[in-house]
């Protein structure tokens, strides 16, 4: 089983967007995801053992990042 997170950063203006984006990717790189995830520009695919840490991560950006979470048996199901 895989968990796919689709996310989109929202902001009122360009300055707020850039600030949020910098913070988002800084803290994303601080997480221990190096080997256990697949990432594109606006999607993450992780194993279920990382669900709690990513839920907590996305909660930090509530109001600035819109997130959708999908449970899938494999990444091929999603595509």
Helix (H) or strand (E) holding 65: strand 65-72
CA distance 3 to 48: 6
Tally the domains of the chain. Answer: 1
Where are the alpha helices (H) located in the chain, listed in sequence order? 14-30, 51-60, 75-78
CATH number of the domain bearing residue 18: 3.30.70
Range of 41's domain?
Answer: 2-78
Contact by Cβ (8 Å): 56, 69: no
The model's pTM: 0.81
* pLDDT tens string 14-71: 999 999 999 998 998 888 776 667 777 888 888 888 899 999 999 999 999 999 999 9
């Amino acid at each position: 089983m895989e968990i796919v997170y689709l996310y989109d950063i929202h902001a009122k203006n360009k300055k707020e967007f850039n600030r949020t984006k910098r913070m988002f990717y800084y803290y994303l790189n601080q997480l221990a995801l190096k080997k256990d995830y697949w990432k594109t520009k606006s999607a993450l695919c992780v194993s279920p053992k990382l669900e709690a840490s990513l839920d907590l991560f996305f909660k930090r950006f509530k109001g600035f990042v819109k997130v959708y979470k999908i449970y899938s048996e494999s990444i091929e199901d999603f595509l």
